[in-house]
């Protein structure tokens, strides 16, 4: 039986790279993204390589509190989900006091509130259907307060803490649904850095930077082995291991250095 995955932000970056790998496994895809033209272009690009693929997309702003109810209705009309990937998110670079309050609140709405709402809406439906997996995309910024990305990092810390705790709760209760948290390092080949006005920030060209393709591969390796958390990018995994043995002032200094403009 064909499995169905709903991916928020599926038409670009990590979502698009993961979509291609899921198509190779025979999944049908439901996308929700902001830009209708981007959805159409990405869909056509994938169909050229996978002519038999089933890909449907909806342009929707997840900052709208009504969007999740519409997504649930759409997904249920398509037969329900086997996999939910909460990938949509964005950042705005700069000192918090210099950013528009509305931009920071939008980050909270999309990165945290919408992810929570999507998880809570689809979790009982997956349980009732017999099982499934929810993959929530956090960030390496979830581990350390991040100057220049203060609110973004805070939203990703929420994603990581919430998702890991929920994963434990579901395991303890015997739920047929599992939750996996993914913490990518800075991804060099997605629109994120341009949209965040962070193109020249050091972290996107540092030794620990990764690619959307590497993130997608690591996600599926974690998915296959039943991992509850995945740190993507081999260099980032080594760096995180070293950070565990480093004094806090050094970690703060390195984080601040990595988030400065070159």
Catalytic residues: 152
DSSP secondary structure of 80-105? --SEEEE-------S-GGGS-HHHHH
Distance, CA of 229 to CA of 182 (rounded, Å): 6
Say which residues have a Cβ less than 8 Å from residue 96's Cβ, sequence separation at least 6. Answer: 104, 150, 151
Query: How wide is the angle at C-alpha 240 spanned by C-alphas 167 and 242, nearest 5°?
Result: 140
Whether the CB-CB separation of 55 and 47 falls below 8 Å is answered with yes
Q: What sign has the CA pseudo-torsion 235, 115, 227, 167?
A: positive
Q: For residue 211, which of 176, 235, 247, 194 has the smallest C-alpha distance? A: 235
Q: Can you tell me whether residue 244 is helix, strand or coil?
A: coil
Helix-strand-coil percent breakdown of the chain, rounded to 5?
A: 55, 15, 30
């Amino acid at each position: 039986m064909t499995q169905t995955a709903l991916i928020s932000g599926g038409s670009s970056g990590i979502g698009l790279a993961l979509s291609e790998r899921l198509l190779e496994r025979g999944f049908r895809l439901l996308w929700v993204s902001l830009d209708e033209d981007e959805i159409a272009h990405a869909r056509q690009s994938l169909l050229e390589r996978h002519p038999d693929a089933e890909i449907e997309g909806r342009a929707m702003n997840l900052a709208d509190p009504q969007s999740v109810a519409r997504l649930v209705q759409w997904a249920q009309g398509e037969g329900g989900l086997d996999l939910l990937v909460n990938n949509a998110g964005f950042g705005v670079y700069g000192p918090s006091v210099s950013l528009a309050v509305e931009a920071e609140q939008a980050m909270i709405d999309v990165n945290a509130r919408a992810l929570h709402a999507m998880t809570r809406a689809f979790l009982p439906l997956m349980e009732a259907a017999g099982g499934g997996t929810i993959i929530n995309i956090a960030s390496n910024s979830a581990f350390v307060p991040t100057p220049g990305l203060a609110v973004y990092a805070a939203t990703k810390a929420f994603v990581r803490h919430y998702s890991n705790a929920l994963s434990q709760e579901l395991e303890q209760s015997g739920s047929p649904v599992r939750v996996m948290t993914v913490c990518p390092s800075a991804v060099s080949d997605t629109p994120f850095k341009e949209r965040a006005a962070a193109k020249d920030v050091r972290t996107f060209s540092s030794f620990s930077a990764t690619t959307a393709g590497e993130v997608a591969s690591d996600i599926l390796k974690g998915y296959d082995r039943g991992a509850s958390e995945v740190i993507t990018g081999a260099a980032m995994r080594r760096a995180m291991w070293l950070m565990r043995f480093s004094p806090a002032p050094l970690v703060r200094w390195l984080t601040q250095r990595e988030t400065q403009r070159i």
